Amino acid sequence: MSFFGFGQSVEVDILLNDADSRKRAEHKTEDGKKDKYFLFYDGETVSGKVSLALKNPNKRLEHQGIKVEFIGQIESWHLHFVCEHPSARNGLPSKLLLCSSSPAELYYDRGNHHEFVSLVKDLARPGEITQSQAFDFEFTHVEKPYESYTGQNVKLRYFLRATISRRLNDVVKEMDIVVHTLSTYPELNSSIKMEVGIEDCLHIEFEYNKSKYHLKDVIVGKIYFLLVRIKIKHMEIDIIKRETTGTGPNVYHENDTIAKYEIMDGAPVRGESIPIRLFLAGYELTPTMRDINKKFSVRYYLNLVLIDEEERRYFKQQEVVLWRKGDIVRKSMSHQAAIASQRFEGTTSLGEARTPGQLSDGNSRQ
């Protein structure tokens, strides 16, 4: 990054000590694209250099101090309405006013930032720099409790920030990293078995082999048709990601269909059994995240959908827990990261997810 001031400019760069050997991981950005970042785990040390390259060798750079920070931050944004309302002309705020006749537009409020990790290292006291130089830094055994995440309304990021304090404008350089949280195999991982249907019309029994799956796992199950008096023509399983942000009355839910898996095309008969085998490795999934720093949650549901010949949809949702398996990468991890990978979060029992349009023991239709 360059700073153009009175007489001197400087290029700031952040270099990791183990950049050549450290693994990189793909991570989705806010615009939906993917980029590769250096991958870290909870408990690993973050060390490197802050490099300052002066553009004009014969001139000095005055500063009020140089520092580097390691920051874990949650940023949330929500969609609001802005409209031209008569009260706005009287000096009153026009945001969030309900307009029926006035022109309105949508905007995203991105002002909500929360830092859950904030570490600072001072690299130089106030003074001046006469030549290009580099400053070493080290953040030892850094706590990184949550997984990096970019969603519809929230972003959890970790980054290094180098700052040269100046009287007029600071010179700032940031470098993002990606953090993965690792888990061991859950001790309790019971199967899911339920009987659902519509009274005197449809009665089915579905079974999934587990309730907790790692991100490269395979969902194995069966669908049993005990009573069929509706002409079903199609059946599929959807993987639904539900992102929840906010608290109290200001809670926002975003549902995203990650995958659609067709398990039947045609009319089933009584006594028929349909097998399910769904590979998760091909989809963009994250571990289940529950009440992260009391800011947001990410949950996953298997949505069983049946469609009849009149295009009516019947469905039943069941929550499952997703987790990141740590055994594969443990050999290449540092000692402190291997210890951190022993943790398993999200082992609480699963409740039945119910919405008004679901299949149940009574009539239910979407």
User: What are the DSSP calls for 255-280, one per residue?
Assistant: EEEEEEEEEEES---TT-EEEEEEE-
Task: Using DSSP, state whether 337 is helix, strand or coil.
Answer: helix
What gap in Å lies between CA 324 and CA 336, rounded to an integer? 18
Q: What is the DSSP letter of 325?
A: B
Residue-level pLDDT at 263: 85
Could you write out the three-class secondary structure of 12-63? EEEEECCCCCCCEEEEECCCCCEEEEEEEECCCCEEEEEEEEECCCCCCEEE
Are the beta carbons of 280 and 215 closer than 8 angstroms?
A: yes
For 345-357, how does the pLDDT look when each residue is reduced to its tens digit (9 = 90+)?
A: 433 333 333 333 4
User: Nearest-CA neighbor of 42 among 184, 149, 179, 157?
Assistant: 179
The sheet carrying 202-208 orders its strands as: 192-198, 202-208, 218-228, 273-279
Is the Cα torsion angle 194, 197, 202, 208 positive or negative in sign?
negative
Task: Write down the mean pLDDT value for the chain.
Answer: 80
Residue-level pLDDT at 110: 56
First to last CA, the chain: 54
Q: How far does Cα 255 stand from its chain's mean position?
A: 13
Section 81-100 average pLDDT: 43
Phi-psi region of 7 (alpha: psi -120 to 50; beta: other; left: phi over 0): left
Residue-level pLDDT at 225: 87
Could you write out the three-class secondary structure of 160-223? EEEEECCCCCCEEEEEEEEEECCECCCCCCCCEEEEEEECCCEEEEEEECCCEEECCCEEEEEE
pLDDT band at 172 (very low <50, low <70, confident <90, very high): very high
For the chain, what percent of residues have pLDDT higher than 70? 78
Q: Structure tokens of 98?
A: 């309900």
- Residue indicated by tokens 């290449």: 332
Q: Where in the chain is the domain with CATH 2.60.40.640?
A: 10-180, 192-340
Q: What angle do CA 162, 163, 166 make, to 5 degrees?
A: 165
For the chain, what percent of residues have pLDDT higher than 90? 48
**Would the pLDDT of 198 be above 90?**
no
pTM of the complete model beyond 0.75: yes
Are the beta carbons of 84 and 103 closer than 8 angstroms?
A: yes
Q: What CATH number matches the domain at 10-180, 2.60.40.640, 3.30.70.380, 3.40.50.970, 3.30.2010.10?
A: 2.60.40.640
Question: 192-340, what's its fold?
Answer: Immunoglobulin-like (2.60.40)
**Would the pLDDT of 254 be above 90?**
yes
360: which strand partners?
A: 197
**Would the pLDDT of 139 be above 80?**
yes
